[in-house]
């Protein structure tokens, strides 16, 4: 949505698009979140907090975006947002107020500025647009929600005053202002303030409230991140192949010296097959029998690790990322422990994940059943994917 304003130029009335600049603050560290890095660079599902926030601004009426980042993070932030159009990343300051000041100085002259804490990724574009509309009409639009809890003034551990709840609001961001007014306010007020509406108020303007949303919470503590961690799904896969002579034995892409190998249309990598089916199952997709039919000449002697990468592409396209994979190979012979590490490395590389996200174990079946009689090798895998 792009907003227009009508301007009188002589007798003619022309419509020109409003220049609305979003200013997203990402220069803090967020020590209370408990990470060893900027909390806005923390992944919630497949995107960082900053990207989730930026997505909402890209859907809004903003025509350009300025992000303030600390010198430590500025390269990482620039790289992260390089796929977005009309986004400028500039150095923030060591306080929120200084970061806003830097952002205002770096941006091109605009009609409206919308200032937002990057740690509020649950904002929606409609509320950003309402704040902007309020700024067009009244000079400012400050998101706020009525206080739910009773608020008391406490000295030490003693309550000295109970504030009447009526009329008390929790102030959120975004906060939208006419560009000239917020630049004027920051030029005249040198104090460090908790938010921009305070500076605006101290400069003599009257901030106008826009009803916000309780869901527009600021991610601050470790618990906030737990509450808003990505949804996850579990998947399971199982496969078995017959052991025959004159075939290679390949497990997890590792060629294992043995007198027999597994029979199959592809390379019969039974472990990789189980892993693929686990991932597909978690993503709600058809299994490998449907994706790679064993009567399709295209998959004759196919390298299963390559097929695994096709599976990865399919689940990634749907927004899934791999949490972890746990698999077990059931084989009476040969002894697999010398190959487990290499198998895990192969699978991790094929999937573009850390080797710590994969665990493979091996067991015999104590001579029982088909596997125990050495007629075949089976594999079972489970995985968790997040989205
Ligand atoms: Mg198979």
Please say if the pLDDT value at position 213 is more than 50. Answer: yes
Residue 58's nearest CA partner among 80, 87, 31 is 87
Most confident of 62-66, 71-75, 228-232: 62-66
Burial classification of residue 25, based on how many CB atoms lie within 10 Å of its CB (0-12 exposed, 13-18 middle, 19 or more buried)? buried
More confident residue, 353 or 345: 345
- Residue 241 C-alpha to ligand 1 middle, in angstroms? 6
**Residue 12 banded pLDDT, cuts 50, 70, 90:** very low
Question: Measured in angstroms, how far is the CA atom of residue 353 from the centroid of ligand 1?
Answer: 23
Question: How do residues 198-212 score in pLDDT, each as one tens digit?
Answer: 999 999 999 999 999
- Judged against a pLDDT cut of 70, whether residue 228 lies above it is answered with no
Residue 320 pLDDT: 84
pLDDT for res 377: 98
pLDDT at 223: 74
Distance 284 CA to ligand 1 centre (A): 19
Ligand 1 mean position, distance from CA 356 (Å):
25
pLDDT band at 5 (very low <50, low <70, confident <90, very high): low
- Which segment of 120-124, 279-283, 338-342 scores lowest on mean pLDDT? 120-124
Cβ neighbours of 58 (radius 10 Å): 16
Nearest 5°: the CA angle 87, 93, 99 is 50
Distance 266 CA to ligand 1 centre (A): 8
Q: What is the pLDDT of residue 88?
A: 97
pLDDT at position 8: 41
- Give me ligand 1 centre to Cα 232, in Å: 26
Torsion of CA 84, 87, 89, 95, to 10 degrees: -110
Cα 343 to middle of ligand 1, angstroms = 17
What was the pLDDT predicted at 319? 74
Residue 13 has pLDDT above 50, yes or no: no
What distance in angstroms lies between residue 273's CA and the mean position of ligand 1's atoms? Answer: 5
Distance separating alpha carbons of residues 145 and 171, to the nearest angstrom: 7
Q: Is the pLDDT of residue 34 over 80?
A: no
Q: Give the span between the Cα atoms of 199 and 280, in whole angstroms.
A: 53
Mean pLDDT to the nearest integer, 351-380: 95
Per-residue pLDDT at 353: 86
Ligand 1 centre to CA of 381 (Å) is 13
End-to-end CA distance of the chain: 28
Residue 130 pLDDT > 90: yes
Given this model, what pLDDT does residue 1 score?
59
Residue 262 alpha carbon to ligand 1 centre in Å: 10
> What's the 384 CA to ligand 1 centre distance in angstroms?
21
Report whether pLDDT(11) > 80.
no
pLDDT in the model for residue 15: 62
* Range 3-15 average pLDDT: 49
- Mean pLDDT of the region 148-170: 94
**Which has the minimum average pLDDT: 10-24, 266-280, 295-309?**
10-24
Average pLDDT over residues 142-159: 95
Percent of the chain with pLDDT over 90: 79
In the reported structure, the alpha carbon of residue 277 is separated from the centroid of ligand 1 by a whole-number distance in angstroms of: 9
């Amino acid at each position: 949505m792009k907003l227009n304003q009508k301007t009188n130029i002589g007798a003619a009335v022309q419509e020109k698009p409003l220049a609305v600049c979003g200013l997203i603050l990402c220069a803090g560290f967020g020590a209370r979140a408990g990470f060893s890095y900027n909390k806005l660079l923390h992944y919630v599902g497949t995107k960082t907090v900053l990207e989730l926030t930026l997505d909402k601004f890209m859907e809004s009426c903003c025509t350009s975006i300025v992000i303030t980042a600390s010198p430590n993070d500025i390269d990482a932030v620039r790289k992260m947002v390089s796929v977005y159009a009309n986004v400028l990343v500039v150095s923030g300051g060591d306080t929120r107020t200084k970061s806003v000041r830097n952002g205002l100085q770096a941006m091109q002259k605009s009609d409206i500025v919308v200032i937002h804490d990057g740690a509020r990724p649950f904002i929606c574009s409609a509320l950003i647009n309402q704040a902007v509309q309020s700024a067009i009409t009244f000079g400012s639009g400050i998101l706020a929600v009525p206080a739910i809890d009773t608020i008391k003034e406490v000295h030490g551990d003693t309550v000295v005053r109970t504030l009447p709840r009526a009329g008390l609001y929790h102030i959120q961001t975004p906060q939208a202002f006419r560009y000239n007014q917020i630049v004027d306010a920051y030029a005249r007020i040198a104090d460090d303030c908790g938010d921009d509406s305070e500076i605006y108020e101290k400069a003599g303007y009257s901030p106008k409230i826009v009803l916000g949303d309780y869901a527009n919470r600021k991610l601050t503590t470790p618990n906030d991140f737990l509450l808003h961690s990505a949804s996850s799904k579990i998947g399971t896969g199982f496969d078995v192949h017959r052991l025959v002579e004159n075939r290679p034995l390949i497990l997890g892409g590792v060629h294992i010296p043995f007198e027999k190998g597994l029979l199959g249309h592809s390379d019969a990598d039974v472990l990789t097959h189980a892993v693929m089916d686990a991932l597909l199952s978690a993503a709600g997709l058809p299994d490998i029998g449907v994706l790679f039919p064993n009567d399709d000449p295209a998959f004759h002697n196919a390298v299963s690790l390559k097929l695994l990468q096709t599976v990865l592409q399919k689940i990634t396209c749907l927004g899934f990322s791999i949490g972890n994979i746990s698999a077990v190979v059931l084989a009476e012979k040969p002894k697999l422990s010398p190959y487990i590490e290499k198998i895990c490395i192969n699978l991790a590389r094929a999937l573009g994940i850390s080797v710590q996200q994969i665990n493979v174990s091996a067991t015999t079946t104590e001579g029982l059943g088909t596997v125990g009689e050495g007629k075949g090798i089976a594999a079972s895998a489970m995985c968790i994917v997040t989205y």
